[in-house]
Amino acid sequence: MDQVLKLVKNQLGITINNRDDYILAIIKGTLKELERIQGIKLDVENPDHLLFIVDLVAWRYESKGEDKAMPERLYWRLRNLMVGGKDGHI
């Protein structure tokens, strides 16, 4: 989780720690949601999975719950993970 948090913060340009709890909640919620709803268990040790998680969490942080569709680039990466198998392996 520390690596995911660090990369998300880097992508968002956040250098202080006061948002860490909020970002960690988004990370954990995103991973649980992908597993529970999509049936995909991602492995943060897999670089493809790690980058997808970072990008998805950063998008969720930036959109702050707005009712807008997932960007196409993220949607297609998610679909590729789903096609790759329920364990998330491509």
pLDDT category of residue 55 using cuts at 50, 70 and 90: very high
Nearest to 40 by CA among 1, 78, 2: 78
pLDDT category of residue 52 using cuts at 50, 70 and 90: very high
pTM of the model: 0.86
